[in-house]
A and B are shown apart, each in its own frame.
Chain A
Amino acid sequence: MESPRRLDDALRALAFAPGALVIAGGTDAMVEVNAGSRRDQLARGEVIAIDRVSELRRFRHDPSSASVLLGAGLTYTELMDEPLASLLPALAEASRTVGSPQIRNAGTIGGNLATCSPAGDALPVLSALDAVVHLADASGVRSLPVGEFMTGVKTTALASGELITGIELPVLGGWQGYAKVGVRNAMVIAIASACLATDVSTRSVRIALGSVAPTVIRCPDAEQFAAEHVDWDSTSVEPDVAARIGSIAAGAALPIDDHRSTAAYRRRAVEVLVGRLVRRGFAGG
């Protein structure tokens, strides 16, 4: 097992064993290990623990470009702390809904992306904010829009030998928030989730949905309708407009029936969640 302290050491170890089990917070990977998966990698000792790679545990706020580069190894607990909570409020709000204190203390934003569950709580926020995913391997770096990085249910564009190193997000001027539905408040996997982010300078609205399609999806029709029908001068919205935005967003969802819920319930949940986020975001004043 390797436990590198520096990113280039981690990338070298991964180049040597491109199929290695990469483990950051362990909140997804160890569930698989405990269930008896990953035996081949473990039998060969091909495990790279990246939780101590210092470059992955930092963030950089660049006020001149109004952006934040988050290290992939930041935990949800760290995303809930200042100054990140004020710079990226929807991400902090989504982080607060993840699991329990134990899970938030260990689970990382990079791990959420690498697992790419349709229900990943950070992912609607990254989608709504048009995040750029920074990747590296031993030979170089590249970056991808998050919508291209997420390719399907638990599949991504991450290549063999590559690590997620960071996530670049804009610092927007305007309200943003996250909401999800589950069977209780704590320790719950989203039945449906939504992020709404507004950008006052461009008078634009971004809406992304989780748990209602193979990957997180955006709702361009609802976004455009919202941008044209909210009152930007008073930051308010008529109740029927908020409801309409919710129903247009629900039309974009592609939900399924599964052990957690039904497609019909998920579609209705999206309508309610998005309508609620619109009313919160455009509450006047």
Chain B
Amino acid sequence: MAEHFELHVNGVARDVHDAWSGESLLYVLRERLHLTGTKGACEEGECGSCSVLVDDVLVCSCLVLAGSSTGRAITTIEGMSADGEPTDVQRAFVAAGAVQCGFCTPGLVMAAHALLAADPDAGEHEIREALSGNVCRCTGYGRILDAVATVARARSGASATAAEDSPGRE
């Protein structure tokens, strides 16, 4: 059965026409809206390469029914930086050599941002747990973990400095 609906993707309302009832959010993002930064691989929630934020919650877009996502704020890797400049996580991935073939990178960057938004000074255990649903076949994960730890140190250092500088604080 053909369906028509509107999705809010990266702050923009996007019309989806003639979708089939079973289309996943991953399929609609890539094949209908041509947002190909989100990768598709296992289509059963095992690999994390299709990770996006739906209302700021990290999910596998392959497991989200596109038609049930109307009215929710969907953020893909393309929406992580408004000005097109790489985010701190993306810069850290490049600096640490955490990217090899690059296929898993968008999903890992989304997972890292979801973690650091909730827990800016995440430690190694939290980082490993937060990235446990994202599979990488190239790197062996060491440099990915290093990259996220670097951002966590930078963000928690920055927030500690901001707190010390805040007016009215003894």
Contact = CB atoms under 8 A, between A and B. Distances in A.
A43 B24 CA distance: 15
B64 A187 contact: no
Interface stretch (A57-65, A102-110, A144-152): A102-110
A260 to B, nearest CB: 14
A103 B60 contact: yes
B111 interface: yes
A3 interface: yes
B21 A27 contact: no
Contacts of A43: 1, 21
A102 B64 CA distance: 11
B59 interface: yes
A114 B22 CA distance: 20
A139 interface: no
A195 B62 CA distance: 31
B44 interface: yes
A43 B3 CA distance: 11
Interface in A22-68: 23, 25-27, 30-31, 33-35, 38-39, 42-45, 47, 49, 51
A186 B111 CA distance: 15
A3 B111 contact: no
Interface centre among A23, A45, A101 (most CB of B within 10 A): A101
A49 B60 contact: no
A225 to B, nearest CB: 36
Contact of B46 (A26, A44, A47, A187): A187
Nearest to A106: B59
A99 interface: yes
B87 interface: no
B67 A47 contact: yes
A25 B24 CA distance: 13
A30 B70 contact: no
A1 interface: yes
Interface string B57-78: 1111011110110100000000
A45 B3 contact: yes
A34 B46 CA distance: 13
A101 B111 contact: yes
A35 B43 CA distance: 8
Interface string B18-49: 00111010000000000000000001111010
B21 A102 contact: no
B63 A31 contact: yes
Contacts of A27: 45, 60, 63
Interface string B126-153: 0001101110000000000000000000
Contacts of B65: 1, 23, 26, 30, 33, 47, 49
Nearest to A25: B63
B68 A106 contact: no
A162 to B, nearest CB: 21
Contacts of A42: 1, 20-22
A47 B70 contact: no
23 contacts: A23-B65, A23-B68, A30-B45, A31-B44, A31-B63, A34-B43, A34-B62, A42-B20, A43-B1, A45-B3, A45-B21, A100-B45, A100-B48, A100-B132, A101-B115, A101-B133, A102-B48, A102-B111, A102-B133, A105-B57, A186-B132, A187-B46, A187-B132
The 6 closest A-B pairs by CB, nearest first: A100-B133, A45-B1, A186-B132, A49-B68, A42-B22, A34-B43
Given A44-B1, A186-B133, 4 more contacts: A27-B63, A34-B44, A100-B133, A185-B132
Interface of A: 1, 3, 23, 25-27, 30-31, 33-35, 38-39, 42-45, 47, 49, 51, 99-103, 105-106, 185-187
